[in-house]
A and B are shown apart, each in its own frame.
Chain A
């Protein structure tokens, strides 16, 4: 175990851009999610496809409302319905299409938590205030591993130790309000990983936390998934987190993937104007004092009445005639493992 761990942690074995020879552990194809609202149908996820390979850390980034959470909730079949509905697509996990399983059927329950686990924002709201931390850990463990009433409290203590909570033997009897935000988040991570899932999905796991706690949580998740040879999907707005922790990125805009590639390709050679816009709008600690941010003008589109043309067109500084007359292009390869959904070669236009 320790040998294998060192192997992956060194980073050498981690894939930058996923080679074609490997088979993905999760393959999402043409996923569609809709929400029925009084104003019309929101196409929150509009034909999203992506892959996840074994042992990798991937990020899904994009502005608020672009469909990041809806995508992940659909994969887990956790969408609240109504108003949500999976309107099409496939989610292939270990050779089986999860969307063929009943939402609350035994197969899906086994996958959820046991093989694919998810951690949400706002840890304090995800814990039950009237149950001890230990009881909740045991409950999550039994639920995820399909056991019933035979679990020793020691399991909960070991889980708390795994996520680095000091004096675990004592703290296991505490209630959530006796834990700080950072400690609650550690408990959520322990629950998510209690059954050694193949995939951990962390949806904005750290936005509500201090930078120091955020760094602790991300290090913890990274190290634990590496040890378990699991894959980690981080859903976030924070481009710094992405640059530090992930190997590949999917950039979403208006319910679609607009660019995907290795972290270095996305940052070093962004090919979609939206990606470029995101990168230029964030301040950096190491920037020259007095430099100006360049925000993306305007706002993301209303997902109810989407034009057939590129949804980024109204905000795009690089648009050409073709963008106005032709439909939104497909995701096209622009390099090895690097794809973008754009008619313009931003790289050329910039120089």
Chain B
């Protein structure tokens, strides 16, 4: 899918993206090996689309997000953003690019400077990128951002700890919106919140997308029901690779990869009448060490359908139905 020419609608394209980290141990910091946190990922995100990324802890979701925004440099492969390869740009060249994308973090309080006022935090990107002229325009824009995310502008002078968890996440979102980005990477934005806060923030994100035509999200979470709810398409990751990519609507009704099927089965549905009828096949074992990944299909040691070929042959991500990609020899 990475071979097609970039079309107008496409905002982000990752081609054969790999991000490897050296692992060092001991006082001499000897190199013990490498973790292939992301290993050959191809993805596209369209303008105005939400792409979900799911998978167990350590599968490389955050690493993809941070590489897209170029906090990490790809080991190989490239990141195309708005038609431009940004994978080799230096910090200065990245500045205008960083205006066009931003990041929302999981921990709303950890990502906000506790000594700065909420207004100051939200306005920071406006100052850094010189997006407003003069004081008046600045405060008008900050107030507008506050209203956009459902915060009362009278709270501009408060510091983060004077807000609730959900409100702090709104501050993070307002800051992310400040420079009018076309792509926001949401890394577990609701995982630390209560169910009703979670619903408020998810609704806010989708309202913003509707209101600000063309805003795209990469939405990272390990809760499959949350990801499915907000995403147009979902990519399921396992040990640094995408094992399945499809429309959200297809994901629950027609999952093809055994790992996707296992993830879905592990998520309980909040309805005892449905749960009663569901089969609870529990995925055994744990994610293997990324330092020493299994041969062949990396999922094979946990896979209930594993064949001899699976132990040696690395499956490729293939299109098995329209827009539905799976990397499984048996699919």
List residues of chain B with CB within 8 A of the CB of A237.
Answer: 194-195
Mask: chain B, 243-277; 1 = CB below 8 Å from A; 0 = not: 00000110010000000001111111111111100
Is chain B's binding surface mostly helix, strand, loop or mixed?
helix
Interface CB pairs A-B, < 8 A, 30: A180-B286, A211-B266, A211-B267, A212-B56, A212-B263, A215-B266, A216-B282, A216-B284, A238-B268, A240-B267, A241-B268, A243-B269, A244-B280, A245-B268, A264-B272, A267-B272, A281-B199, A282-B195, A282-B199, A283-B228, A284-B225, A284-B271, A285-B228, A285-B252, A285-B264, A286-B274, A287-B229, A295-B196, A295-B197, A296-B196
Whether A289 touches B249, Cβ cut-off 8 Å, given contacts A211-B263, A219-B282, A244-B280, is: yes
A245: nearest chain-B partner, CB-CB: B268
Count of chain B residues near A, Cβ 8 A? 43
Find chain B residues with CB under 8 A from A211 CB. Answer: 56, 222-224, 263, 266-267
Residue ID in chain A nearest B56 by CB atoms: A210
Within the complex, which residue of B225, B270, B282 is in contact with A215, where a contact is CB–CB below 8 Å? Answer: B282
What residue of chain A has the Cβ atom nearest to residue B302's Cβ? Answer: A212
**Please, which residue of chain A has its CB at the minimum distance from the CB of B203?**
A293
Per the 8 Å Cβ criterion, residues 110-154 of B in contact with A are none
Q: Interface 1/0s, chain A 103-135, versus B by CB < 8 A? A: 000000000000000000000000000000000
B57 within 8 Å of A by Cβ?
yes
Asked if B88 CB lies within 8 Å of chain A CBs, one says: no
Contact A292 B203 (CB under 8 A): yes
When each residue 219-242 of chain B gets 1 if its CB lies under 8 Å from chain A and 0 otherwise, what string results? 000111110110000000000000
Q: Mark A256-288, 1 if CB is under 8 A from B, else 0.
A: 000000011001100000000111011111110
Question: What 0/1 pattern do residues 287 to 311 of A give for CB contact below 8 A with B?
Answer: 1010011111001000000000000
B295 CB–A CB distance under 8 Å:
no
Q: Does chain A have a CB within 8 A of B200?
A: yes
Cβ–Cβ < 8 Å partners of B203 in chain A: 292-293, 295
Given contacts A215-B266, A281-B199, A289-B249, 13 further A-B contacts (CB under 8 A): A64-B194, A210-B57, A210-B222, A214-B266, A215-B280, A216-B282, A281-B198, A283-B225, A283-B226, A284-B270, A285-B224, A295-B199, A296-B199
* Chain A CB within 10 Å, residue with most, of B262, B265, B268: B268
Q: Which residue of B lies closest to A298 (CB)?
A: B196
Chain A residue with Cβ nearest B223: A211
Confirm or deny: B164 has a beta carbon within 8 angstroms of a beta carbon on chain A: yes
Residues of B within 8 A of A181 (CB): 57
Taken together as a complex, chains A and B put the C-alpha atoms of A286 and B267 apart, in Å, by 11
A207 to B323, CA, bound (A): 33
Chain A residues, Cβ within 8 Å of B262: 212
> B252 to chain A: which residues have CB within 8 Å?
285-286
Say yes or no for A242: interface residue by CB 8 A criterion: yes
Residues of A within 8 A of B (CB): 63-64, 180-183, 210-216, 219, 237-245, 263-264, 267-268, 277-279, 281-287, 289, 292-296, 299
Please classify the interface of chain A as helix (H, G, I), strand (E, B), loop, or mixed, using the class held by over half of its residues.
Answer: helix
**In the complex, B43 has a CB within 8 A of chain A:** no
Cβ contact within 8 Å between A283 and B229: yes
Nearest CB on B from A179, distance (A) = 10
- Give A63 to B164 CA distance when docked, in angstroms: 13
Could you tell me if B286 and A182 are in contact, using CB atoms closer than 8 angstroms?
A: yes
Q: Which 4 interchain pairs have the tightest Cβ spacing?
A: A240-B268, A295-B199, A283-B229, A239-B270
Q: How far is the CB of B303 from chain A (nearest CB, A)?
A: 13
Which residues of the partner chain A approach B268 to less than 8 Å between Cβ atoms? 215, 238, 240-241, 243-245
A267 contacts across to B, CB distance below 8 A: 270-273
User: In whole angstroms, what is the CA distance A284 to B249 when docked?
Assistant: 12
Write the nearest CB–CB distance from B119 to chain A, whole angstroms.
21
Q: How far is the CA of A215 from the CA of B226 in the complex (A)?
A: 17
A283-B271 contact given A64-B194, A212-B56, A214-B266, CB 8 Å threshold: no
Write out the residue numbers on chain A whose beta carbons fall within 8 Å of the beta carbon of B269. 240, 243-244, 284-286
Q: Does B97 touch A at the CB level, under 8 Å? A: no
The answer to whether B195 touches A268, judged by C-beta atoms less than 8 angstroms apart, is no
Interface positions, chain B 188-229, Cβ under 8 Å from A, are: 194-200, 202-203, 222-226, 228-229
- Say how far B195's CB is from chain A's closest CB, in angstroms: 5
Q: Report the bound CA distance from A263 to B195 in whole Å.
A: 18
Contact B273 A264 (CB under 8 A): yes
B283 within 8 A of A: yes
